[in-house]
Amino acid sequence: MAAITFDHVSKRFGEALAVDDLDLHVPDGEFLVLVGPSGCGKTTALRMLAGLESVSEGNILIGDRVVNELSPGERDIAMVFQSYALYPHMSVFDNLAFGLRNLKVGRVEVKRRVEEAARVLELEPLVGRKPRQLSGGQRQRVALGRAIVREPSGFLMDEPLSNLDAELRVQTRAEILKLQRRLGTTTMYVTHDQIEAMTMGDRIAVMRDGILQQIGPPATLYSEPANTFVARFIGSPAMNLLPAALLELGGDDQLVGVRPEHIDFGVGDSSRVSFEAKIEVVEYLGDEQLIHADLRGHALLAKVPIEFAIRPSSVATFNVPDEKLHFFDGPNGAAVRRRHPCR
């Protein structure tokens, strides 16, 4: 096991800058999720760490060893691919054993480690089968098994759950977490799914256009987003961003962020901001309801308990606690600390 460091790493494809000055440290044993929309550079960063992509600038370290010039096989890492990338002509046993045999591990030890991985992942009855004879979930477990038998310094996972159906995804998410906690292997996990990021990561690194936007524990990213991009990317449904002037909370170039789940009904007290909006559509979610409203030409989304009886086309008064308001400033939408610029 080892820490992973990106020391001012950039990657160019011709003129295009896929990763821009990425500076990131993953401590030993941490589960870091790299999240962002497609094309944000997260997979490129992971592939550079794996050695499948060269580094244009900067250094990548695994432990205290600079690995820029090492081949993927020399980096002591294991990778789980989106498509699983199992060897179709080999049995499950041989798929698991392939990496160990390449490292010239003795036959007895190979057998021991493969059987141990098969036991942990409940693959024992399947070791003689070929990948085409397995279900999607089983293939996924073989791909995980291929990573853990190596006992590597780091796990690299590139959207490993995106080919599974919703139910299996939730189940496998928990399995991966349990496995990682038990082994304590430093893990870098790439996904575009913010829910996956929130539920799995010790810390989350949000990327956009090749630039790291913010890194921190899930709760910090949720409660203290560094800018409007992170604010809208983390949390579901996404945060409402409204002109501060509209709520008389700031100037023209400022934005106020309000999470839909922090909006309440009725006139508040002095510690709350109140405003009226016209209700357009109500979506029933079972235990909650999503309210689409119009606040003087700006769309507003609120998530409120089912107890409130709400009629579409009516005008309702909403309120938000002061401490739940987020303020963003300037053209890049950076968060500003002050809670009440105008009060």
Partner 1 sequence: MSAVAVGQSARPHGKLRSLRRVSARVSVHLVLLVICAIWLVPTLSLLASSLRPAALLLSSGWWHVFDSPSQLTVANFRQVLEGGQLGQSFVNSLAIVIPVTAVTVLLGGIAGYVFAWLPFPGERLIVVVLVALLGLPVQVTLVPVLQLFSRLHLAGHFAAAWIAYAGYTLPFAIYLMRSFFRRIPREIIEAAQVDSASAVKICLRVAMPMAAPALASLATLVFVWTWNDLLVSLVYVGSGPDVAPMPVTIANLIGSQGTGLELLAAGAVISLLLPVAVFFALQRYFVRGIVAGAVKG
Give the footprint of partner 1 on this chain (CB under 8 A). 50-52, 71-74, 77-79, 81-83, 85-89, 98-99, 102-103, 146, 150
**Is the CB of 77 or the CB of 249 nearer to partner 1?**
77
Give the nearest distance from C-beta 324 to partner 1 in angstroms: 43
**Is the CB of 156 or the CB of 291 nearer to partner 1?**
156
Give the nearest distance from C-beta 49 to partner 1 in angstroms: 11
Give the nearest distance from C-beta 106 to partner 1 in angstroms: 16
Planar angle of CA 296, 301, 303, nearest 5 degrees:
140
**Is the CB of 37 or the CB of 99 nearer to partner 1?**
99
Other beta carbons less than 10 A from residue 280's beta carbon: 13
Hey, is 275 helix, strand or coil? Answer: strand
- Give the position of tokens 């590597």: 152
The region that residue 8 occupies, defined by phi over 0 for left and psi between -120 and 50 for alpha, beta otherwise, is left
Q: Spell out the alpha helix ranges (H) of 79-225.
A: 92-102, 107-120, 136-148, 166-183, 194-200, 218-223
**Is the CB of 100 or the CB of 234 nearer to partner 1?**
100
Give the nearest distance from C-beta 63 to partner 1 in angstroms: 17
**Is the CB of 63 or the CB of 321 nearer to partner 1?**
63
**Is the CB of 144 or the CB of 277 nearer to partner 1?**
144
Give the nearest distance from C-beta 74 to partner 1 in angstroms: 7
Residue type, 9: V
Please provide the DSSP assignment of 84-102 as one string.
----TTS-HHHHHHHHHHH
Please provide the DSSP assignment of 13-55 as one string.
ETTEEEEEEEEEEE-TT-EEEEE-STTSSHHHHHHHHHTSS--
CA 145, CA 161: separation in Å to the nearest integer?
Answer: 15
Q: Residues 256, 244: contact at Cβ < 8 Å?
A: yes
**Is the CB of 70 or the CB of 245 nearer to partner 1?**
70
**Is the CB of 155 or the CB of 318 nearer to partner 1?**
155
Give the nearest distance from C-beta 8 to partner 1 in angstroms: 25
Give the nearest distance from C-beta 77 to partner 1 in angstroms: 7
Pairing state of beta strands 288-295 and 298-305?
antiparallel
Give the nearest distance from C-beta 276 to partner 1 in angstroms: 49
Given CA atoms 54, 57, 63, 66 in this order, what sign does their dihedral have?
A: positive
Residue type, 242: L
